[in-house]
Amino acid sequence: MAGCVCYWSISPSYPVCAQAPVVSVEPRSAGVRQGESVSFRCRVVSGSQPVRLEWKRTNNHPLADNVKIGPDCSVLTVANTRNGNQGQYRCVATNSAGRSTMIASLTIKRE
């Protein structure tokens, strides 16, 4: 079974299959004017718990100082957007069975 790691439990005596996480991001893309704020939400659609969520830039640059992650790591908010915030952000979900990534794109509109 692809994407599945099985563990044997002590009680009861049958295999327990851990499922890799599957995530979705809303919105998948957003276009805002410079100075506006925008939020992206990453949601675990399926997969065995616990799942660790993390947001990263796709270019592996650090998140800017005006980018904040919510306490449960599911929401990325860019406050007072600027040109340097434009680009793609990755929500990465990881558990014992694997990893899933979904991309959110941010475009800063010219006035």
Which residue is it, tokens 């996480």? Answer: 21
User: What's the CATH code of the domain at 26?
Assistant: 2.60.40.10
User: Mean pLDDT in the chain?
Assistant: 89
Q: Kindly tell me if the per-residue pLDDT of 8 is higher than 80.
A: no
Average pLDDT over residues 73-85: 97
* In-domain check, residue 1: no
* In-domain check, residue 13: no
* In-domain check, residue 15: no
Please give the sequence-ordered ranges of beta strands (E in DSSP) within the chain, or none if there are none. 4-8, 15-19, 22-26, 29-33, 38-46, 52-57, 67-69, 75-78, 87-95, 98-109
Q: Give residue 33's pLDDT.
A: 97
Query: Which range of residues forms the domain containing residue 65?
Result: 20-109
Average pLDDT over residues 62-83: 96
Q: Which of 107, 100, 106 is nearest to 24 (CA)?
A: 100
Q: Report d(CA 88, CA 81) in Å as an integer.
A: 14
Q: Give residue 12's pLDDT.
A: 52
Count of domains for the chain: 1
Average pLDDT over residues 102-107: 98
Q: Give residue 101's pLDDT.
A: 97
* In-domain check, residue 5: no
